[in-house]
Amino acid sequence: MARRPRLQGMKAQTLGRVVLGGFMVTAGVLHLTTQRDEFQAQVPDWFPVDEDLTVLASGVVEVALGGAFVALPKHRRTVGALLAAFLVAIFPGNIAQYVEGADAFGLDTDEARLRRLFFQPVLVLWALWAGGLLSRRRPVLDEEEQREEVETGE
């Protein structure tokens, strides 16, 4: 039986979910290891929690959400929503890096830091799309396709 275009889109969402999840796990591990100082530059001066603790905690959250996005496809909508919310919650750090002129990750000019601000909404939309939250409605599946969706989470 020929696949419907919507189901092919779901395959793209699966790839997007796995790639974004992998990025998040990698970023989280970097928070906990070699890039801790760089990530501390994104913690706003006004934030009431120690910079290192903030970076470590956000790294743990990134590893958890990224891993869950990859490993728990049946929960992709919930994890996608949580990941999008997390990305919104940490956006003030990106703004602080721009406003305070903090150099990190090669963002050593105001122009580079400003461009970085526009990437965060892309990540939020990516999490929502890959989590299947931007779909208007679920596709109509035949019985075999429904079994496959339950088994694979796609």
- Tell me the sheet residues that pair with 104: 107
pLDDT computed for residue 3 by the predictor: 54
Average pLDDT, the chain: 87
pLDDT computed for residue 144 by the predictor: 62
Q: Helices 76-89 and 91-100, interaxial angle, to 10°?
A: 20
More confident residue, 40 or 69: 69
Residue type, 74: K
The rounded distance, in Å, linking the Cα atoms of 74 and 153 is 5
Q: What is the DSSP string of 38-57?
A: HHHTTS-TT-SS-HHHHHHH
The pTM (predicted TM-score) of the whole model is 0.81
State both tokens at 13: 């969402």
For the segment 84-127, what is each residue's pLDDT rounded down to a tens digit? 999 999 999 889 889 888 888 888 899 988 998 999 999 999 99
Check if the beta carbon of residue 81 is closer than 8 Å to that of residue 89. no
Closest CA to 145 of 137, 154, 136: 154
The rounded distance, in Å, linking the Cα atoms of 124 and 102 is 23
Residue 101 DSSP code:
T
pLDDT computed for residue 41 by the predictor: 81
